[in-house]
Amino acid sequence: MRGDSEADYTTYVSARLTALHRAAYLLCGGDQDRADDVVQVTITKLYRHWRRASGAENLDAYVHRMLVRTYIDEKRRLWSRVRLLPHADDERPGADRPYDAADDRGVLIAALRGLPPRQRAVIVLRFLLDRPVEEVAETLGCSAGTVKSQSSRGLAELRAALTPAPAPAKTIGTLR
Amino acid sequence: MNTDEELRDLLLAVEVPPTTADIGLAIATGRRQAARRGAILAGAAAALVVAGGTAYALGATAPDGHRGAPAAQGPQDPPIAACAVDTIQVPGAPGTPVVDPSGRYVVGSVGGIASRITDGQAVAYPGATGEVVAVNVDGVIAGYDDAVGSTHQLAWTYRDGAKTMLPKLPGYPFTTPTALNARGDVVGYASGEAGDDNVPVLWPADRPGTVVALPMPPGFGTPGTGGSHASGVSDDGIIVGVVRGAAVRWVHEGSPALLPLPAGYEGAEAVAVRGTIAYGWAAVTGGNRVVPVRWFLSSAAGDSAFVMEGAPSDIADGTPTGWSITIGGDLREPVRLSPGGTVQRLPLPPGVRPLPAGPGAGARSISDDGRTVTGSTGDRRLLIWHCDTPS
């Protein structure tokens, strides 16, 4: 990669890193380690393909697609096994999930965790990243109809989780 | 939560811990992958530079429990060789060239067309559009096209003036070649859209139009369930690669064997094989350090590993006699490793300095006699080193 291209890449990724990480964190149902991995793999792929990516009509859409496809692949054993991240030995706050606040936001994370991965991807792509139905369908390799039905099913689950119930509330394990 | 906007607001309000994703690491890893897979970056000037002695010494470790180090070590190292580097300026954004094992063909993608680099000029092969991955002693080329609308590739070979697309594996829309041997066997991987669901494959020369999914080792699941690929093939049909974080070898299409690792190392990848030596790297258990490894392959005595502690680990290629080259690391400063493990810096062209003072350079392939090495500078000049290495 040329020096100026590399500068462009660094500028772009620096500006988008927080948003990409939020999307990955939600996609991964609050699993911080996995979200970090998904973002790391995505920005590495983006570096490799920067020449083409930077010519994309909608670069954000292109990168979101890469992020979601990276997330959907559940089996990135190679990356996780030979872990080269400098923070590999760091203490992580994941065990007690301090970021799962005891309010709607925490419930939302728990509810997202209860959704099937592709349904979660639909929710994040459509509602957090604001991608149109057709594009989500293309990203996930399914029909627009499937995206719509997955959206409404996912939304129903989230609404149910966020609505206080008079009867014993659903637990994470019975959401699906 | 009743509206889409409210959901979006909630998603935006979720408190997210700070990310540890690292842009510098992404760039370093991306460079390394690009160099290995043939996408690193390109005057007709030549300079004679003597490689600067032993840049830094390293402890060659003969691992416990494995048949140890090769005979040539330490004091028996051949003398440090002198290398001249040619820089070749071509227009556009050329791919880094590769050299065949005999040193006769240096081939790279120039202007999107596979071209022979000869006498400081790039001569295009008619109809050979795409990126070049490897060339064999007969001038047969393996390469790939970028798949339209995807970040993935489609593999091809080019021989006798004709480009032939290699067959796809059912269920996998993409194919990437990584290596080619004298017989014309091509190895690489088939992949799906996700990019990491790769299957190591062989396109055997004696069965044109055929693709073979290489078997997984016992206990490693089925193909397609993890990052796996074949990365090298010897003239005798020994294939090396990585299966879900473990270095493996196949003999033709037979069952794979895990390449051994000494205690204290976990996770490895074989990146090339020449003759009976495989080259790659291994990760130190519990740490973030990666070290270069050579494996000596023997059907009679079993395979043995030779770890080169302290040497740069981003091996790009090697020879049948134990010489190897590295891509260039974070500083983009490629080195040659002698059979005994001595590190020698490859001279950079005048005015080209390692990062961050300059564009740096990367090395990609080495001829079997160790005399010809190809690479490119970070600002896309093509490089050919001519060394007087004894072999």
- Chain B residues whose beta carbon lies within 8 Å of the beta carbon of residue A25: 14, 16-17
Residues of B in contact with A164 (CB under 8 A): none
DSSP character string of B252-304: TTS--EEPP--TTEEEEEEEEEETTEEEEEEEETTSS-EEEEEEE--TTT--E
Chain A CB contacts of B227 under 8 Å are 75-79
Residue in A with minimal Cα distance to B13: A105
Distance in angstroms (rounded) separating the CA atoms of residues B34 and B131: 12
Spell out the per-residue pLDDT of chain B, length 391, in tens. Answer: 567 777 888 888 888 888 888 888 888 777 777 665 443 322 222 221 222 222 222 223 333 323 233 333 333 344 456 788 999 998 877 889 999 999 999 999 998 899 999 998 999 999 999 999 999 999 999 999 987 766 678 999 999 999 999 999 998 999 999 999 999 999 999 988 765 578 999 999 999 999 999 998 888 876 655 568 899 999 999 999 988 878 999 988 888 999 999 888 888 889 999 999 999 988 888 766 788 999 999 877 788 999 988 888 889 999 999 999 998 876 788 999 888 778 888 999 998 988 778 888 989 999 999 999 999 988 889 999 998 765 4
Structure tokens at B68: 């140890």
Q: What are phi and psi of A83, to 5 degrees?
A: -85, 115
φ/ψ of residue B79, rounded to 5:
-60, 150
What is the value of ipTM here, to two decimals? 0.74
Give the chain B residue whose CA is nearest to the CA of A76. Answer: B226
Q: In Å, what is the CA distance from A103 to each residue of A148, A158, A163, A171?
A: 28, 14, 12, 15
Q: Work out the angle at residue A18's Cα, subtended by the Cα atoms of residues A65 and A108, and round it to the nearest 5 degrees.
A: 80
Q: Does B71 touch chain A (CB under 8 A)?
A: no
Q: Which of residues 222-251 of B touch A (CB under 8 A)?
A: 225-228, 242, 244-245
User: Are residues B250 and B239 in contact, defined by beta-carbon separation less than 8 angstroms?
Assistant: yes
Beta bridge partners of B99: B106
Q: CB of B80 within 8 A of CB of B70?
A: no
Angstrom distance (rounded) from CA B256 to CA B215: 7
Report the run of H or E that residue A105 belongs to, with start and end. helix A104-114
pTM of model > 0.95: no
Comparing CA positions, the residue from B335, B330, B332 lying closest to residue B366 is B335
Q: Would you call B288 and A85 a contact, using CB atoms and an 8 Å cutoff?
A: yes
Query: Are residues A84 and B13, on separate chains, in Cβ contact within 8 Å?
Result: no
Q: Determine whether B391 is exposed, middle or buried from the number of CB atoms within 10 Å of its CB (0-12, 13-18, 19+).
A: middle
Give yes or no for A48 touching B (CB within 8 A).
yes
C-alpha to C-alpha distances, B235 to A148, B146, B238, B251, B279, nearest whole angstrom: 53, 28, 7, 11, 15
Q: Which helix (H) or strand (E) holds B87?
A: strand B82-88
Nearest neighbour of A44 by CB, restricted to B7, B30, B225:
B30
* Residue of B5, B12, B29 to mutate, interface with A, max A Cβ within 10 Å: B29
User: Contact, B384 vs B121, CB < 8 A?
Assistant: no
Q: Which of B7, B33, B34 sits opposite A127 (nearest CB)?
A: B7
Strands of B162-165's sheet in order across: B131-135, B141-146, B153-159, B162-165
